[in-house]
Structure 1
Amino acid sequence: MAKLETSNVMPKVVTFLSSLLEKVSRSNDANRRLDSQKISVFHGLSRPTISIQTYLERIFKYADCSPSCFVVAYIYLDRFAQRQPSLPINSYNVHRLLITSIMVSAKFMDDIYYNNAYYAKVGGISTGELNFLEVDFLFGLSFHLNVTPDTFHTYCSYLQREMLLESPLSLATSLKLQCCFNDDDSSPTHQKQQKQLAV
């Protein structure tokens, strides 16, 4: 897929994703003692000092990936969380998950993208670490990278609706990052949700 034309203006999706991930991370941090959570290769020893919003803005500024890559990266994070329920997104792993998911998304979506060494520099980690994270992330997704136009549209509609509502997501039923969409785009649940979003 060709790159969308970008500008110096920060896309709204970047701002919203940072807000969304901040809420999810805080919620999962607060519930760490209640849930049985595993430590993964994505976990840092301490919380990064850079905020999620600043981190995402840095990636957008220097990685030069299309805005659609952020939506696909969000889809990947959602799939990863569903497949790895014992590894919820929190403040100790969200930064590494972000740089990895965006890099994988750019490789899959954009015609032109930087190598791992460049993304590692943007993300503030070593190339060796990012290489390792990429492999672990791909296996965590079971290499399910394809995003159909229907799935992309559904997630965009969902994000747009949340932005318009400007309200936090309900985390009562799930403390992971999930859109509550089925991976099977042809499922009745998906079709029903898509009709609701289109109204």
Structure 2
Amino acid sequence: MAELESPRVMTKIITFLSSLVQRVAESNDLNSHFQHQKISVFHGLTRPTISIQNYLERIFKYANCSPSCLIVAYVYLDRFSQRQPSLPINSFNVHRLLITSVMVAAKFMDDMYYNNAYYAKVGGISTIEMNFLEVDFLFGLSFNLNVTPSTFTIYCSYLQREMLLLQPPLESADSSLTLGKSPKLHLCFDEDETSHQQQQQQQQLAV
């Protein structure tokens, strides 16, 4: 989508995704005492001091990936949340999940991309850890990396709609995310459904 190339649009997307992921992480932090959560390679010993938004801005700045990669990375995070319910996004793993999802998206989407060592430097981790994160993320997705044009359009449409609803401030809008009740991101649908069902979802998003 050509409008993704606009710096102003990208700034809004990064701001919105950061806010979304942060609220998911904070919600799951609160729920950690009531639901079983596995410890994985994504789990850090302490919460990183850099904010989620600053971290995502850093990734986009230095990774030099295409704007579409952020959307695809968002799709991957949603899939990961659905397939790994015992590994919800929280404050201890969100940064590692972000750098890994963007790296995997860049490798899948872009003709040119940096190697794992470079992404490790961008993410502030070791190359060995980056390699382990990539492998675990791929297995967590069951290697389901393909994003169809219709799926990409649905996620873009959702983001565009929510960004309009959440202006300004981000916290005051009547969002359909219901993040306080769900540890998942949002669009939890079966991407292998028929085109008719996808058209119905697109119509619902447009309402």
TM-score (norm 2): 0.88
C-alpha distance after superposition, 1:23-67 (max 9, x if no partner): 111111011001111111100001000000000000011010111
| Partner Cα separation in structure 2 for residue 110 and residue 146 of structure 1 | 13
CA shift, 1:187, in A, is 5.9
SS in 2 for 1:48: coil
The answer to whether the Cα contact below 8 Å between 2:82 and 2:188 also exists between their aligned partners in 1 is no
- Of all paired residues, the percent bearing the same amino acid is 73
CA shift, 1:162, in A, is 1.1
The amino acid that maps onto 1:176 is K
The answer to whether the Cα contact below 8 Å between 1:77 and 1:101 also exists between their aligned partners in 2 is yes
Is the aligned partner of 1:23 residue 2:23? yes
Moved over 6 A (4+): none
What's 1:197 paired with?
Answer: 205
Q: Judging changes above 3 Å, is the alpha-carbon distance between structure 1 residues 173 and 123 closer, same or farther for their aligned structure 2 residues? A: same
- Taking only aligned residues, the RMSD between alpha carbons, in angstroms, comes to 1.9
Moved more, 187-196 or 69-78: 187-196
What's 1:90 paired with?
Answer: 90
SS in 1 for 2:121: helix
CA shift, 1:159, in A, is 1.1
Moved more, 11-20 or 36-45: 11-20
The amino acid that maps onto 1:62 is Y
| Partner Cα separation in structure 1 for residue 105 and residue 6 of structure 2 | 16
What residue ranges of structure 2 are gaps of 5+ in the alignment? 167-172
What residue ranges of structure 1 are gaps of 5+ in the alignment? none
Aligned residues: 196
What's 1:135 paired with?
Answer: 135
What's 1:163 paired with?
Answer: 163
The answer to whether the Cα contact below 8 Å between 1:75 and 1:155 also exists between their aligned partners in 2 is yes
| Partner Cα separation in structure 2 for residue 69 and residue 174 of structure 1 | 25
SS in 1 for 2:194: coil
